Structure 1
Amino acid sequence: MSLLIAIALSLLAGFAVPLQAGSNARLGVILGHPFWATVISLLVSGLAIALLMLIVKVPRPNLVALSAGPWWIWLGGVAGVFYITVALMVVPRLGALNFIMAVVVGQLMISLLMDYFGLLGLPRHPPSLQKILGVSVVLAGFIIASRG
């Protein structure tokens, strides 16, 4: 995959995040409780990935290897439920921009720690001055934007 395609797909994925948060927030209002919106969102996600897997003809998973994995491999599912539920509860209060900016700041901060300590099996990457400065600029942008 070329760098340009990778960047374009990343931008499209970024576009999807506030759309997901906004649509799930409305779904929570319609259903009467945020947890029901989380359930429906995850069911739709499951159906969408199942369809995609059928189209792409993904081979069966190695379930034996799954049982030998570290305990933290299950955190992705828990994080997904947490993110979806918080998003649909908070977006109506903060607005899409402030919510997404807070999410990005949180992502950058935990990413620095994950890289520094090599968490979750990732290789260690000590933070450079440029990376710390970049995160600081985004944090400052969030502070400026969220006060308005």
Structure 2
Amino acid sequence: MPASLFAALPLLIALLAGAAVPFQAGSNAALGRMLGHPLWAAGVSLLVSLLMLVPALLLMRAPLPQVQQLAHAPWWTWFGGVAGVLYITAALVLTPRLGAAGFIVCVVAGQVLSSLLIDQFGLMGLPERPVNLLRLAGVGMIVIGMIVVQWGTAR
């Protein structure tokens, strides 16, 4: 595999993972309507995630974590599960109102804004990557894009 293609592979995988997100939001919203409440759909979605995760862990022969590792984990390491429930529930409730593109563009803008804070301060054990004018300009364009997408779909 050429070096340039190998370097682009993580970007392609991230792009494909991102392309799946609107389908998650749309399918979960439909499931919420079918089940009569968005939180039931969130529960089903998380259960399906668990059912997909267990075989992957077994195939990868991932060792079981030690209870003491979990007991000594920083408080913020548990936020991933909370964020997952928040995202799934928001997607269930808001995708029918905002549309897939409207919801996802707001999600992306929120992700980039919070990611800048994480980078700036090196939160959660990640390396510090200072915010600079060029990065702020990029975020500004994303926020403007969010506004344009919402404005373009307003009725």
**TM-score strictly above 0.5:** yes
What is residue 98 of structure 1 aligned with on the other side? 102
Normalised to the residue count of structure 2, the TM-score between the two structures is 0.91
What is residue 63 of structure 2 aligned with on the other side? 59
RMSD (CA atoms):
1.3
Q: What is the distance in 1 between the residues matched to 2:66 and 2:12?
A: 31
Which string of whole-angstrom CA distances, capped at 9 and with x for unpartnered residues, describes residues 22-50 of structure 1?
A: 00000000000001000000000000011
Task: State the Cα distance separating 1:62 from its structure 2 match.
Answer: 3.0
Unaligned runs of 5+ in 2: none
Matched, 1:83 2:87: yes
Deviates more, 1:51-60 or 1:73-82: 51-60
Task: State the Cα distance separating 1:3 from its structure 2 match.
Answer: 2.1
Q: What is the distance in 2 between the residues matched to 1:105 and 1:36?
A: 27
Task: State the Cα distance separating 1:65 from its structure 2 match.
Answer: 1.6
Task: State the Cα distance separating 1:114 from its structure 2 match.
Answer: 1.1
Q: What is the distance in 1 between the residues matched to 2:84 and 2:119?
A: 21
Matched, 1:128 2:128: no
Matched, 1:36 2:23: no
Task: State the Cα distance separating 1:121 from its structure 2 match.
Answer: 2.2
Give the fraction of aligned pairs with identical amino acids, expressed as a percent.
Answer: 50
Q: What is the distance in 1 between the residues matched to 2:9 and 2:129?
A: 25
Q: How many residues align?
A: 148
Moved over 4 A (4+): none
Letter of the 1:123 partner, please give it.
Answer: P
Deviates more, 1:110-119 or 1:26-35: 110-119
Unaligned runs of 5+ in 1: none
